[in-house]
Structure 1
C-alpha cells in the first residue's frame, strides 16, 4: 500500500489575554467611544463628494443637506461597529490587534453594546426622516441592512464580502448626493465604486500578508484568496479607476473646467502609486492609516484637493 502523506495540523490560534486583565481606560464611556471608532468617521466625508464634484464656479449646492447626511451616516456606522464587535467577540479575542477591542476585552458588555447600536440606528433613521430626503433614508437603510447581513454571514463568502464592503462607501456618496439634492453622474458613481473596491481589496491583502498562515483562522474567507491574486486585482482596479476618472473629467465637467480636472489626474495617479507601495508591505497597519498618516500620501491628496477645488472655483 502507498503510504499516505502526513496530515499537517491547522495553524493554532493561541488565545490572547482579554482586556479584563487590563485596566479600563475612562470606564464605560471610554469603552463606548472606542467601540464607536472615531478614527473611522472620516469615511463618512464621502457624503460631500457629489456636492463638491458638482460645484459650479465656487458654489457648492446643498452643503447643509450633506452635513446632515454626515451625521446620519456617522450614527449608522457606529451602530454597525457595535453589532460587528458583538458578533466577532470570540474571534477578536484571538487576534493580535483586535483583542484590545472593548467588547472582546470585557470592558463593554454585549448587552450594552447592542443597546447603543439600537439607539444609533433609531437616531440615524430619525435624522434621515427629519431631513425629508427619501434618497438619504433609502441609502442609510440599505447601508444598515447590508452591514448587518455582512456581520451575520456574508463576510464569510469570498468576493461577495468584497462587494458588500465596497458598497458601504458607495452608499455614503449616493446618500450625500441625495441629501444635497445633487444628481450624481454615472462616471461619478463608477469612480466611487472602483475606489471603494480598491480599499476593500487592500484591506484583505494587508490582512493576508500581515497575519500569514493564521489569517484564515481570523477571517475564514481569506482561505479563498492569494496575495498574488489580490495584488493583481488591486492594480487592475487602480488602472480602471484612473480610466473612469479621465472619463469623468473629459465628458462630465463644464467646458471651462475640463483642463483643470485633467490636471488633477496627476496627483490622483501619484496617490494611487503611493498607496500601492504602502499596501505592498507586509504590515498590520490599517488601510485607513496608510491613507491618512503617510506624509507623501497626504501630500498627493492635498495637491489633488487644492487643484480640484480650484477647478470648481474658477
Structure 2
C-alpha cells in the first residue's frame, strides 16, 4: 500500500483585506459549524429515556446541544491555532480560516476564550452536573491540544471520551441514568472514527507526524478492524443485556442496521478517493446516512410503540 510522503510547498498564507462582515463570517466559519453534527450524541439520552416527544425534555436537550456546540468550537479553534503550520499542507484543512490567516491569532484566542466562558456559564446555569461535564470536556481537550495529542492511542482515546461526555451531558440535563453499554458503544464508535482519520492522514500528507507518534498503516488497520468489531459487539451485548428486548423484531433489525452502518463506514473510508474531510465524507454518503436514520426509526418504533417498557437504564 503506497504512502504519499511527497513534500508539498507550503500554501501562501497572506490574507487579503477583509471587510468587517467578512471578518465576522470567517470567525463563524472557524467554529466549524459543519462539525456540530457530532453533538447529536447529546440526544441519545432523550431517545432512550422515552422523552423524545416531551416538549420540556426536548428543549432542555436542544439547550445542551447548543452548549456543546460552543464548547466544541472552543476546542476546534484552539486546535487550529496550534496546528496551523501542519494544516497548511493538508489537502482539506488548509482551507480553514485560521490556517489561511483570514482570522488573526489574537482574535482567534479571544474568540475561543469567549466561547469557552459562555459555554461554561450556560452549562452551570442548567445544573451542577451539566456544568461539570462541560468543564471536564473542555479541560480534557485543552490537555489534548497542549500535549496529549502527541501520545499514540491516548490521543484517539480522548476523542472517544469527548463523545462519551456528549452522551453524559444529554443524560445529566434530563436526570436519567446512562447504560454502561451505551457509553462503551459510543466510546468504541468515536475511537474508530478517530483511528480512521489517523490512517487517512498517514496515507496522505502527514505520514511523518503520525509515524513519530508510533502509528503505521498496518498497526492502524489492525486497530480499526478491532474497534469495528467492538462497536458491533458492544451494541449486541447491550441488546442482550436488556432481557425484555429479545422479542423485539425492531431491535433485532436495528442490530443489522448497526452492522451495515459500520461496514459501510469502513468501505467509504478506504475508498475515499476525493480526500474529503471525514465529517463531509460521512454526511455525503447516502447509504451510511440512511442506515443511521433507519436505526433511529427502528429504535423509536420499537421503544415508543411496540415495546414501550424498554428503558435507557
Measured against the shorter chain, the TM-score band is 0.7 to 0.9
Q: 1:204 & 1:45 partners in 2: Cα distance?
A: 23
Separation in 1, partners of 2:218, 2:20: 40
Structure 1 contact 59–313 (Cα < 8 Å) conserved: no
- Offset at residue 221 of structure 1 (A): 5.4
CA-to-partner distance for each residue in 1:110-155, whole Å, 9 max, x for gaps?
A: 11111111111111111111112x2211111111111111111111
Q: Match for residue 300 of structure 2?
A: 309
Query: Equivalent residue for 2:221?
Result: 231
Matched, 1:297 2:297: no
Partner in structure 1 of residue 92 of structure 2: 97
* Separation in structure 2 between the aligned mates of residue 112 and residue 260 of structure 1, nearest angstrom: 50
CA deviation map 1:154-195 (0-9, x unaligned): 111111111111111111111111111110011111111111
| 2:189 maps to 1:198 | no
Tell me the number of residue pairs that the alignment of Structure 1 and Structure 2 aligns.
300
| Structure 1 match to 2:82 | 87
Given the superposition, is the C-alpha separation of residues 25 and 208 from structure 1 closer, same or farther in structure 2, using an over 3 Å criterion?
Answer: farther
CA contact under 8 A between 1:44 and 1:73: conserved in structure 2? yes
Unaligned stretches of 5+ in structure 1?
1-9
Q: Which of the residues 45, 48, 53 maps onto 2:43?
A: 48
1:242 aligned onto 2:236: no
How far 1:92 moved relative to its partner? 2.2
C-alpha RMSD over aligned residues: 2.5
Paired residues for 1:1-314 under 5 Å: 12-18=7-13, 20=15, 27-55=22-50, 62-132=57-127, 134-209=128-203, 211=204, 214-217=205-208, 219-220=209-210, 224-252=214-242, 254-255=244-245, 258-281=248-271, 283=273, 284-314=275-305
Give per-residue Cα distances to partners, 1:9-29, cap 9 Å, x unaligned: x96452111252598895101
Do the aligned partners of 2:210 and 2:216 also contact (CA within 8 Å) in 1?
no
Contact 2:11 2:89 in 1 (8 A): yes
CA distance in 1, matches of 2:272, 2:284: 17
Unaligned 5+ runs, structure 2: 306-313
- The whole-number CA distance in structure 1 between the counterparts of 2:51 and 2:120 is 31
TM-score for both structures, normalised by structure 2: 0.87
Counterpart position of 2:310: none
Larger Rg: 1
Please give the alpha-carbon distance, in whole angstroms, between the structure 1 residues aligned to 2:109 and 2:55.
Answer: 38
Q: Summarize deviations over 1:19-76 as a string: whole Å, max 9, x none.
A: 5259889510111111000100011110011221232797698333222210111110
